[in-house]
A and B are shown apart, each in its own frame.
Chain A
Amino acid sequence: MNSTAAIKCHGLTRRFGDLVAVDHLDLTVPKQSIYGFLGPNGSGKSTTMRMLCGLLLPSAGEIEVLGLKLPEASEALKQRIGYMTQKFSLYDDLTVQENLRFMAQAYALPTNTQKSRIAETLAAYQLDELRHQLAGTLSGGQKQRLALAAATLHQPQLLFLDEPTSGVDPQSRRDLWEALFNLVDDGVTVLLSTHYMDEAERCHQLAILDHGRKAAEGVPAEMIANLDAWVVKIDNGSIPALKQHLAQAKEVISLSQMGGQLRLLVKKNIADPVTYVQQQLAGLSEIEIAQHAISLTEPTLEDVFVVATQKPRKMDAPK
């Protein structure tokens, strides 16, 4: 066992009837880092996370979390991990403080430190003024802070966060990330899932999941730098005929429109992608594109995602 890994799994598979939700996944999550799962809905993010928590039995594969073999040792693991569910799962009809007291007792925190630990947590997550408010009446961002407070109350070594920021405003998301980095500084390992690109970029390491498989893995910045495709942009690319024509081009992996700009991913084996795109458009008499309108541009994580999943996502819905 690599002592620097918080999670190791090999050949992890989970089937639901005929559906293979997670398909032979190998993972190594290093300690004291934020590891992200990036993937669309149904890519197996939640299922994987639930297996790693011991909430779901794997159909096949080996799991070792914090040195414990799962599913055998899942009960022993519970005290050492925190889990923030995708849907708010604290009690709507209890106050903020009651919820935290319940969690403190559920994790059997020593009675003499319970009060101070709750007070500490209330302060750390700016819940002090909300302590007597029913959890059900909190806003999305407040609920998220409470959920994170509850998941970290017993000071777990490993934190699972299942889409922690879906439906939360940008400021709350920034606050959450700051809290996560603070936790990592304190020695905590965080595994989170997301379908936001900007959030995925903040992770120390990232696995792109697609149909239950790991499509790519690495440090986000390196993944972007090593993108196996050219990114070509065409200004004034809003003409439907242009999009339709380029979508047919053999070496174009995908294209998407960003306002008045068209963004193309072109295969890396093309030596001069700008010329290639110009050639593709040469035959089009009805479209006039200025020479300088076609240029290479910086890749983003979304480009990495598209290449990794190799989906024929020729036309993205506008963001």
Chain B
Amino acid sequence: MMSLRRLLAVFRKEVWQLKRDRLTIAMIFGIPIIQILLFGYAINTDIRAIPTVVLNQSHSQLSRDLLSDLQASQVIKLKGNVHHVEEIETLLRQGKISIGIVIPPDFERRLQDSSRAAAQLLVDGSDPIILGAAKQLTAMPFHLNSQSVPPQNRLFEVRHFYNPEKRSAMNTIPGLIGVILTMTMVIFTAISLVRERERGNLELLINTPITSNELMLGKMLPYIAIGFFQVTLIMLLGLVIFDVPVRGQLVDVYIAALVFIAANLTLGLLFSTLAKSQLQALQMTIFIMLPSILLSGFMFPFDGMPEAAQWIAEILPLTHFERLIRGIILRGADLSELWPELLALIAFASVTMLLALKRFRKRLD
């Protein structure tokens, strides 16, 4: 027999406990708000403002008209002019631009020639969304002031780099390294200190001569090894199953991974000093995991997001790691070309570690 009174007793007890659980209440409100804002506003698959440079060898009025039309479309954002094709390739590899526009010296003549495209788009093809946007540009109507253009003329020829077969796995697999590390690493350390507290081990631990530094570092070390193992596993699976090669230096991959793993572990440690229970620590990691996956550029191109979202994304370690790992694995970039991202991760790890150490006291008060 079900008793309404007993049912109510359980119900009321749950409400009482819930009222005192601020983080759960924050989740009740926070998750929908974050999700709605991220998906509805920040994430925009109508991509805009793709960073672009121009190599204009034509210097004609028509070429300037073409560039102003391209900018008017808002799909690209001109970052400047270059003088050699090699510069475009370098900038693409460094991840500073996604599109390079080459307007040849005989641009005006080519416009009249139906057998050849008038200009070239050099595109970072590793991201299918960027590639798709570039394709759309080729269908852009070009309003020539007074001259007539044969309708069959192709305005652009697209040359995509890094992913000739246009496989999305090329982009996803390296990106997944960062996502998987974020999902596992933060949790490992986030629960580690708070678990000691919950199980009553902390009082013993802080009464030993083990220092805060030794404790924190000692808790991180095993997970760095585990992180390396995960990185290796994902790269192997990517290579064997999806044929995703590592174009850059393997040692660069591991250096980038080391710094990124450290950043996640220190963030976890900071959570662990803030949380009162393991559940709270887990809730905190969810708050960092959601925006990381959505804003880092893993799922949607970074350049398509509004500025506010980009600022938030710049704080997240995953954003910087995605740039690093895609640069190294897909575009064969060298760490020396990507050092600002590495520096950002080192700064993040240092700040969170210092905060965690500041929060953690070998005391019970």
- Measured CB to CB, the residues of A under 8 A from B are 50, 53-57, 74-75, 78-79, 81, 83, 85, 87-92, 103, 106-108, 150
Contacts and interface: CB of A to CB of B under 8 A. Distances in A.
A106 B364 contact: no
Interface stretch (B72-80, B123-131, B197-205): B197-205
B365 interface: yes
B207 interface: yes
B147 interface: no
Contacts of A81: 207
B363 interface: yes
B363 A106 contact: no
A89 B206 contact: no
Nearest to B207: A83
B183 to A, nearest CB: 24
B360 to A, nearest CB: 14
Of the listed residues B201, B209, B210, B362, the one surrounded by the most CB atoms of chain A closer than 10 A to its CB is: B209
B217 to A, nearest CB: 14
Contact of A106 (B199, B210, B362): B210
A55 B206 contact: yes
Contacts of B208: 78, 103, 106-107
Contacts of A74: 362
Nearest to B211: A75
A249 to B, nearest CB: 45
A56 B201 contact: no
A57 B209 contact: no
A78 B214 CA distance: 15
Contact of B363 (A55, A85, A103, A150): A55
Given A78-B208, A83-B204, 4 more contacts: A57-B363, A89-B201, A106-B210, A107-B209
A74 B206 CA distance: 11
B203 A92 contact: no
Given A50-B364, A55-B363, A56-B363, A89 B203 contact: yes
Contacts of B362: 55, 74-75
Tell me the dominant secondary structure on chain A's binding face.
loop
3 smallest beta-carbon distances between A and B, as pairs: A89-B204, A106-B208, A83-B207
B69 to A, nearest CB: 67
B41 to A, nearest CB: 44
Given A78-B209, A79-B209, A107-B209, A55 B364 contact: yes
A85 B209 contact: no
21 contacts: A50-B364, A53-B207, A56-B364, A56-B365, A74-B362, A75-B362, A78-B207, A83-B204, A85-B204, A87-B200, A89-B200, A89-B202, A89-B203, A89-B204, A90-B201, A90-B204, A91-B201, A92-B199, A106-B209, A106-B210, A150-B204
B209 A108 contact: yes
Contacts, number: 51
Contacts of B202: 89
Nearest to A84: B204
A55 B201 contact: no
Contact of B365 (A53, A57, A85, A106): A57
Contacts of B209: 75, 78-79, 106-108
Interface string B341-352: 000000000000
A79 B208 CA distance: 7
Contacts of A54: 363
A85 B363 CA distance: 14
Contacts of B207: 53, 55, 78, 81, 83
A85 B200 contact: yes
A280 to B, nearest CB: 50
B200 A88 contact: yes
A312 B208 CA distance: 42
Interface string B17-43: 000000000000000000000000000
Nearest to A147: B204
Contacts of B203: 55, 83, 85, 87, 89
A57 B364 CA distance: 9
B114 to A, nearest CB: 75
A277 B196 CA distance: 57
A56 B364 CA distance: 6
A45 B338 CA distance: 58
A90 B210 CA distance: 15
A264 to B, nearest CB: 42
Contacts of A107: 208-209
Contacts of B365: 56-57
Interface in B154-172: none
A83 B207 CA distance: 7
Contacts of B205: 106
A64 B164 CA distance: 75
Contacts of B200: 85, 87-89
Contacts of A78: 207-209
A87 to B, nearest CB: 5
A202 B211 CA distance: 36
